[in-house]
């Protein structure tokens, strides 16, 4: 079976003024489909950069990144965008919902971008997802009318509504209290177990790491 994600000797350099900062020093990592993986490490360790590489939001300076065997480092911006839309779901630390859309509309957003589903199919999928994250009662509310935990649930629903192969979550509990954070991780676990969707999330919270199948530790741009 092909790994869901495969990083081979990934090096990432960022220009910082006149000097170049190396964020990743040749990281190699395979993640199997259905894994619930935590990438852990202190701030600036390079875990966000790894997520960027996996999430097709950035390309490596050298080395290769493959999703389901598809090499991404040579793809155009438009191709990467399409790959993100169809194969990857995103959950952000700051939830990053679209404030002018209500819960249902936020969840529907990637489906509309895909433009391949009928209105009816979209409605069914959105309803199912909103129900699964427990927000059926709040479906017509705007993000700013919801609590942090509820917002992250909307984000989870939005990430999963397209049936992506991989869900990336960047410190999904960082802006939540520990109880709510735990609920969110539990919800992600539930989704992972039911749908066998690959989850990769970054965190530096040891209690969150405990929930992971696998914890990949990063320090100073290399895997520990």
Give contact residues for other proteins (rule: CB under 8 A). 48, 51-52, 55, 57-58, 77-78, 81-82, 84-86, 90, 92-101, 105, 109-110, 112-115, 158, 170, 175
Name which of 29 and 83 has its Cβ closer to other proteins.
83
Q: From the CB of 109, what's the least distance to other proteins, in Å?
A: 7
What are the DSSP E strand ranges found in the chain?
Answer: 5-16, 19-31, 36-40, 62-67, 70-71, 88-91, 166-170, 198-203, 214-219, 222-223
| Euclidean distance between CA atoms 216 and 20, whole angstroms | 26
Compute CA 200 distance to the chain's CA centroid, rounded to the nearest angstrom: 6
Question: Do 221 and 13 form a contact (C-beta atoms < 8 A)?
Answer: no
Q: From the CB of 86, what's the least distance to other proteins, in Å?
A: 7
Q: From the CB of 7, what's the least distance to other proteins, in Å?
A: 17
Name which of 33 and 92 has its Cβ closer to other proteins.
92
Name which of 35 and 102 has its Cβ closer to other proteins.
102
Q: From the CB of 47, what's the least distance to other proteins, in Å?
A: 11
Q: From the CB of 195, what's the least distance to other proteins, in Å?
A: 19
Q: For residues 20-44, b (16+ Cβ closer than 10 Å) or e, as one string?
A: eeebbebbebebeeebbbbbbbeee
Name which of 99 and 178 has its Cβ closer to other proteins.
99
Name which of 74 and 144 has its Cβ closer to other proteins.
144
The residue assigned the tokens 């964020």 is 23
- DSSP character at residue 199: E
Name which of 82 and 204 has its Cβ closer to other proteins.
82
| Euclidean distance between CA atoms 98 and 146, whole angstroms | 13
Residue 114: CB partners within 8 Å, gap ≥ 6? 85, 86, 162
The three-state secondary structure class of 60 is coil
| Euclidean distance between CA atoms 152 and 221, whole angstroms | 28
Q: From the CB of 105, what's the least distance to other proteins, in Å?
A: 7
């Amino acid at each position: 079976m092909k790994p869901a994600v495969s990083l081979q000797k990934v090096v990432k350099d960022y220009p910082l003024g006149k000097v170049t900062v190396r964020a990743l020093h040749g990281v190699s990592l395979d993640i199997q489909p259905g894994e619930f993986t935590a990438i852990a490490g202190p701030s600036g360790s390079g875990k966000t950069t790894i997520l960027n590489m996996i999430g097709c939001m950035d390309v490596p300076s050298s080395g290769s990144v493959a999703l389901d065997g598809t090499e991404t480092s040579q793809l155009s911006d438009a191709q990467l965008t399409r790959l993100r839309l169809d194969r990857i779901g995103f959950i952000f630390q700051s939830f990053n919902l679209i404030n002018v859309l209500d819960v249902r509309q936020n969840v529907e957003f990637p489906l509309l971008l895909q433009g391949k589903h009928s209105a009816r199919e979209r409605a069914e999928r959105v309803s199912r997802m909103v129900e699964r994250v427990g927000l059926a009662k709040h479906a017509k509310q705007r993000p700013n009318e919801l609590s942090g935990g509820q917002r992250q649930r909307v984000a989870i629903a939005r990430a999963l509504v397209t049936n992506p192969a991989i869900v990336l979550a960047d410190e999904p509990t960082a802006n939540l209290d520990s109880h709510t954070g735990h609920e969110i991780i539990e919800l992600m676990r539930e989704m992972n177990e039911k749908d066998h969707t690959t989850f990769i999330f970054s965190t530096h919270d040891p209690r969150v790491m405990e929930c992971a199948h696998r914890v990949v530790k990063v320090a100073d741009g290399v895997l520990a």
